[in-house]
């Protein structure tokens, strides 16, 4: 129900825009988030957006990543600037139909996931 796109191989300092398209219009009511899984590491929170558009970021990406949503297209985006090698990983989009706050940073609060898109940053 969630399909990510936009990943790729970029040099350090470059930019990417990831997209996550939802299949159902009801997703405009849900908080959404991006998580990533670096090679050999656990999945980690990157950014979240409430159904009202409030955004939240992990400290390491503040000022470089921007999450947004376009409810008309039922799509969320993650604009990634100033990419660093440590940003390498599989990026997953997630939606929460079960969390009743504004947005969550916790994996367990998200019940719908995309298949992921690979981001590789070369130094």
Reported as a single tens digit per residue, the pLDDT across 31-62 is 999 999 999 999 999 999 999 999 999 999 99
- DSSP per position, 25-39: GGGGGS-EEEEEE-T
Q: 63 falls in which pLDDT band (50, 70, 90)? A: very high
pLDDT at 50: 94
Reported as a single tens digit per residue, the pLDDT across 85-116 is 999 999 999 999 988 778 999 999 999 999 99
pLDDT at 92: 98
């Amino acid at each position: 129900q969630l399909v990510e796109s936009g990943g790729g191989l970029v040099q350090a300092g470059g930019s990417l825009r990831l997209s996550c398209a939802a299949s159902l219009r009801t997703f405009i009511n849900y908080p959404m988030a991006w998580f990533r899984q670096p090679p050999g590491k656990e999945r980690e929170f990157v950014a979240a957006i409430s159904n009202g558009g409030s955004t939240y970021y992990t400290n390491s990406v503040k000022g470089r990543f921007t999450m947004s949503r376009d409810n008309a297209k039922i799509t969320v985006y993650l604009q990634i600037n100033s990419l660093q090698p440590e940003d390498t990983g599989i990026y997953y989009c997630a939606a929460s139909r079960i969390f009743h706050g504004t947005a969550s940073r916790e994996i367990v609060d998200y019940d719908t996931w995309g298949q992921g898109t690979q981001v590789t940053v070369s130094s």
